[in-house]
């Protein structure tokens, strides 16, 4: 961070302005795979859109293993072709679920629930197709890892609020934010920042912002087959 003292002051002021926001109760929040899927839908989107998309997906599939074998174009049909970054999102979600299956021979992450936070986070970040916002949100909500999820939408708003600058990427920014929030306040801070994004993305001023960029590089593919 180029001007850390100012950034810390701005961030503190922002959190006070946002106030207390009750964390949203998402479907199947106790299931890491459900959190993973929900996080992919929330990435570069809004809470309202992601909840609606999640409901549409669950109406079409039997379980998450069924979702794993869906082709990307099928997932796009479920969430809607006008969903933000629909195809890239669907491709990455399929790659991650497939990679979990190849590692665990099942679509679940129960093995990580008995591991340490660092080990769980390293595992999650190594999944093919994952993006920092999704890995951070999964680590925060399912494995009590202290990090704040940041996507391009939030990063843009934080730059505008002078909390960050263009030199800081999403993953680094998420770790920096977490360093200035009490560990137990991570989920509440994420909820407040997401609420802020939800409000700002739907505002008239949001149309003046540059479109969010896609993650650098293609989705990695494993040589193994499902």
Domains along the chain with CATH numbers = 4-19+28-208 (1.10.340.30)
* 116-148 tens-digit pLDDT: 999 999 999 999 999 999 999 999 999 999 999
Q: What is the mean pLDDT of the chain?
A: 89
Contact (CB, 8 A) for 11 and 180: yes
Tell me how many degrees the CA angle 96-76-149 measures, rounded to the nearest 5: 50
* 151-200 tens-digit pLDDT: 999 999 999 999 999 999 999 999 999 999 998 999 999 999 999 999 99
In sequence order, which residues have a C-beta less than 8 Å from that of residue 133 and are 6 or more positions away?
Answer: 39, 42, 43, 44, 149, 150, 151, 170, 174
Model-level pTM? 0.88
pLDDT band, very low/low/confident/very high, at 209 (cuts 50, 70, 90): very low
- What mean pLDDT do residues 6-28 have? 87
Residue 179: C-alpha distances to residues 35, 48, 89 (Å)? 23, 29, 29
- Tell the residue number behind the tokens 């999704």, with chain if given: 134
């Amino acid at each position: 961070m180029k001007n850390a003292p100012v950034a810390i002051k701005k961030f503190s002021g922002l959190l006070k302005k946002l106030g207390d926001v009750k964390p949203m109760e998402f479907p199947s929040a106790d299931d890491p795979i459900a959190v993973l899927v929900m996080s992919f839908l929330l990435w570069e989107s809004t809470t309202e859109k992601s909840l609606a998309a999640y409901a549409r997906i669950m109406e079409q599939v039997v379980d998450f293993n069924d979702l794993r074998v869906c082709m990307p174009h099928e997932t796009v049909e479920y969430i809607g072709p006008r969903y933000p970054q629909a195809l890239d999102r669907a491709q990455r979600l399929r790659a991650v679920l497939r990679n979990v299956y190849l590692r665990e021979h099942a679509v679940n992450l129960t093995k990580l629930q008995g591991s340490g936070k660092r080990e769980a986070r390293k595992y999650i970040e190594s999944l093919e197709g994952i993006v920092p916002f999704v890995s951070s949100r999964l680590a925060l909500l399912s494995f009590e890892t202290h990090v704040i999820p940041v996507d391009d939408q939030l990063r843009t708003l934080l730059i505008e609020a002078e909390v960050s600058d263009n030199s800081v990427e999403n993953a680094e920014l998420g770790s920096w934010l977490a360093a200035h929030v009490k560990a137990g306040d991570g989920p509440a801070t994420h909820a407040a920042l997401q609420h802020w994004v939800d409000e700002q993305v739907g505002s008239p001023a949001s149309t003046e912002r540059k479109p969010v960029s896609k993650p650098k590089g293609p989705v990695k593919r494993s040589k193994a087959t499902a």
